[in-house]
A = this chain, B = another copy of it.
Amino acid sequence: MIDKDKIAASNAETEANLRADYDALGEHLSRRGIDIGKIKDKVAGYGVAVPSWGVGTGGTRFARFPGAGEPRNVFDKLDDCGVIHQLTGATPSVSLHIPWDNADPADLLAKAEETGLTFDAMNSNTFQDHADHPLSYKFGSLSHTDAAVRQQAVDHNVEVIELGRKIGSKAITVWIGDGSNFPGQTNFTRQFERYLEAAKSIYAALPDDWRLFTEHKMYEPAFYSTVVQDWGTNYMIAQELGDKAYCLVDLGHHAPNVNIEMIVARLIQFGKLGGFHFNDSKYGDDDLDTGSIDPYRLFLVFNELVAAEGVKGFDPAHMLDQSHNVTDPIESLMVSAMEVQRAYAQALLVDRATLEGFQQDNDALMATTTLKRAFRTDVEPILAMARLEKGAAVDPVSAYRASAYRAKVAGERPEVTSGGGGIV
């Protein structure tokens, strides 16, 4: 972890400027009838989960270019996640991926306590073969034509739930790559029937206070059809499985041009929004840093979430899910967590009563201007003040770089050579 004194020293340098900005913003907001303190408190209470796999350098099918100090195992990953939370105060929990993060539950809990973290939704993996799974997922997992492969995949999910139960998780996210690469390769209907049957077996193993999140994705790794290809199919699944089944929305898993915030609204309306995998994309499932490509879209998603606050049973999980190919993953995750907070803070500034009036009157121009006014407010002082007050860093990236954490772990963790992706 980072030396607290160093963080404090770093904060001390910028505190005066921050207070000036914060006060000016507070005055401005008070003229708009908004209490900056209340916004700050909500932001301070907000957290987004970090994916354990996000702290390693990502890659493409063409290549992977690791950085220094790549985490070797789940404990290294938790160390890195701990730093992210320490500096941002915004990422109190970690989402594990099994088998990548398999470990003794007691050791996981101990490490979590050490790093000040808890465990968010568990993730199973049947899109890769496992060393200890005799059967291959080359042609599918939960929807495979062979019942034995389906059973193997179900068993794995049940084990993941079991591990999660022991470490305090309350949900499992099931994403599979099942689909096809050729017209005719699979029978869409039979395949989905098999999927549903297998998913019901997993659902049956769910503890009472758990939720099951299924995640749709348009394509990749399957390139002609994907079993859970969009929110329509995802919604069907959640309906078929039962009250503990919800739909997870990954911002990068949709067809070009799709209005994602509208899908979010539909799932909220019908009580089936389970949560998010936040990231950003320009082309496909690019897994770029959240808010890096289209920050207004992120705001529009949060506009729906803030509008739904207080709806009975509305409690979506928030998680980052990104691939960091050209940045230090710790830095990207810190910045992304703050971008999520930023969108949340901006959405909190929307004058909803006024907006509703414009909507009722079909005053499209003033309605959209009402959203834009909230979006263009620079809420950075609010985020920074929330961090300052909880002992995190006013400027997490600067503090992180100053800490030389990366150099330290690079010395402890063996170098990883660059490697090819799937194509070699």
Contacts and interface: CB of A to CB of B under 8 A. Distances in A.
A104 interface: no
A65 to B, nearest CB: 4
A256 B364 CA distance: 25
A63 B422 contact: yes
Most B CB within 10 A of own CB, among A258, A303, A368, A422: A422
Residues of A in contact with B, size category: 35 or more
Contact of A364 (B56, B185, B367): B185
Nearest to A181: B326
A182 to B, nearest CB: 4
Most B CB within 10 A of own CB, among A231, A282, A364: A364
A184 B326 contact: no
B296 A62 contact: no
A112 to B, nearest CB: 22
Contact of A367 (B17, B184, B188, B256): B184
A186 interface: yes
Interface string A129-152: 100000011110000010000000
A371 B372 CA distance: 19
Contacts of A184: 303, 355, 358-359, 364, 367-368, 370-371
Contacts of A225: 259, 262
Interface string A325-368: 11110011001000000100000000000011011111011111
Given A288-B223, A360-B145, A420-B128, A188 B266 contact: yes
A262 B187 contact: no
A266 B232 contact: yes
B183 A368 contact: yes
A102 interface: no
A220 to B, nearest CB: 6
A233 interface: yes
Interface in A293-340: 293-297, 300, 303-304, 307, 323, 325-328, 331-332, 335
A59 interface: yes
B136 A418 contact: yes
A380 B361 CA distance: 26
Interface in A205-230: 218-221, 223-225, 229-230
B266 A236 contact: yes
B138 A61 contact: no
A232 B229 contact: no
A249 to B, nearest CB: 12
Nearest to A187: B359
Contacts of A367: 182, 184-186
Contacts of A281: 223
A289 interface: yes
Contacts of A283: 218-220, 223, 257, 284
Given A184-B303, A184-B367, 16 more contacts: A20-B27, A24-B24, A62-B221, A145-B359, A182-B289, A183-B296, A183-B371, A185-B359, A188-B269, A189-B265, A189-B269, A218-B258, A223-B288, A236-B270, A256-B256, A284-B284
Closest 4 CB pairs of A and B: A59-B422, A232-B232, A255-B255, A65-B138
